[in-house]
Structure 1
Amino acid sequence: MITQLKSKRSWLLLLFLMPGIKTYATGPVVKPDSLLQKAYILNIMHRVADWQINDWNTNGFKHAKVDWTNAACYTGIYALGSIKNNEKYLTTLVNIGNDLGWNTGRDRFMADDYCIGQTYSLLYTKYKDKKMIAPFTLLADSIVNKQHDEPLEWKNHIASREWAWCDALFMGPTALSYLSTATSNPQYLDTAAKLWWKTTDYLYDPAEHLYFRDGSYLDKKEKNGKKVFWARGNGWVLAGLVRVMENMPANYPDKKKFEKLYRDMAARVASLQQPDGSWHASLLDPESYPVKETSGTGFYCYALLWGLNHGLLDNKTYWPVVKKAWAALATSVHADGMLGYVQRIGASPDAVTENSTEVYGVGAFLLTGTQLYQYLNTHPVAAKN
């Protein structure tokens, strides 16, 4: 059930009495209003981004620079870098692009390997340097011209050819959609939409308004007997959904259909929020994974804030949800800027700890913070409610 925090006292109860909440970011005492101050939001985003970039610079990239894990992180770094006076973060991304020769991964038609294309397209839109999208444009043309006529059963390495797993909906259609905007070529967006619905027809459960991770999960059950719906997996979908919609013209033929899917998923996700403000690794069996999980929580909070910022969700219902989610996220940041409680790489619900972190969790956190910063620019009174 969606509940609303009605007072500062409620915020204090949320922060200090909820299980699993620790206040790494702000010390032993947190003033509830400070979490929603723009200066605080910008500061904590800086700390998280700087920790991640320093970790890359000091310890090297744990995954290849072109890898989907880092590509998801780049989306958040780009969002932060787009805020005025934060251009240094864009410079970091340009340097990475130059190091990669603006190429995508080796597995040409696997969505993971061209997830980075969305950041290339965003950087091109800003700097108008054609080298930034030249290699990806050639790949995208071949994706547009591909038949895409294989069934999506999870076998025969299908992920190398089709969007056969729900995570792909953050990786593939987003890359094509941002390229469509960057080049004013509607073919890329049309292909993204067509293939989105192909994946949805196979993996979306219309009764639950959630996506199975892939075909191998269609008949699996959690310990409590309910269906297996992975929090981050559906986070990939909901975040990917808003990033595709962000590139749709107002009169796009499928726009209303995408918006209905978004509202249905948003309502379902909001109804599954846990008392600690987060979403646990398993959406329908949170008791088996009793600790908050920040990558799924981050992607949900980002996508819901995007809906508030674009007038697709009503403030009375969803602002309390994102406010609680942001508290769960912000209090997961360690004193040095490391984001904790991020589930490791996987395909299903798994355990997390306060010290587990990953780059895609950082990306989700920065996407969320940027949307929250934007929301408070247009709804300044919200910080006090």
Structure 2
Amino acid sequence: MSDSPYAHYGTPDPEYAALYATLPPPIDYPIPVEASRQMLNGLVSMNHEMIKDKLPDASKYTTVDHSVPVANGTARILVRTITPTFKDGTKYPVLYWMHGGGFVMGTVEMSQDGLLRLGVELGITIAIVDYRLAPEHPHPIPVTDCFEGLKWVADNAGSFGGDISKGFIIAGDSAGGSLTAAVSHLVRDNPFFQGKQPSGQVLHIPCVVDPRAHPERYKLELRSLDMVENASMSGLNREFIYDIYRKHLRNSPEDPTASPLLFPSHANLPPAFFQVAGLDLLRDEGLLYERVLREAGVKTKLHVYQGVSHGFHLIFPQLAASKKFEEDFKNGLVWLLGGAKA
């Protein structure tokens, strides 16, 4: 194990370790991007089949796909909205979701089932953005697509049953957590969002800094990427994390829109709810970013899940830790919608 101050979080969860021991050996990296996409899409389809009978009845929500222009009208992206069934014209707070997948894979379906259940249970309209993926669309395209999709949602929420004055949360997991962090800063500084500011942000297992650009003052804290003991159980590959930035996004390491930790100020951001996996190679940057936001005066709430991998809640939904993750997520949304009160 690396000498991270947070290394104790990496002691494997016994239930996760037992399940991991039954799996075939991990596939050697590198894996071609297209093959990675097919593998992830297959996993999403398999998980959907496992839980489809537990999803809300179709009469309880409406799903609509919207084609949204971006890049000055030269391209279009999908924003899928899921709205609880209207009751006497009721409109709902809005959750805008940016999916994970290392910026190179992932679709709107990736977290849709879980978001659908939460939306129906809590009375929230969900908007999931299908931003364009690297390497075909390198940085900053994923960021700008998510930003422009958010502008569209802010302007059009009423047309799909949303009311951002009741709550406007931006959220994502993994790469989507990075996009959430970057977009939060861009929104804060953009006049368009005056009077339309998001009221909260959710960062699941986020990546927030290019490993080529770890600030000197934080290097002793950012050590989980160097994990050795149990690294094979972490759910990520160290080389893949480097390749996200240097090979696929092809961003400047110091660009804060790719490394939100590097924004010169984190003040005046919306309250932030964090969920971090203890055996994740990205663990330390999630923990550090929560502290940096808190020290900048941002209200935060943090949950750490001992000894489980990156994406554990999606890959192994049967784990007790995954069920706790989903319950904590629900409670985190309630906290944000309630004004992030202590």
Q: Shared topology, TM-score over 0.5?
A: no
Comparing both structures, which one devotes a greater share of its residues to helix? 1
Q: Which structure is higher in RCO with an 8 Å CA cutoff and minimum separation 6? A: 1
Q: What is the TM-score of this pair, normalised by structure 1?
A: 0.29
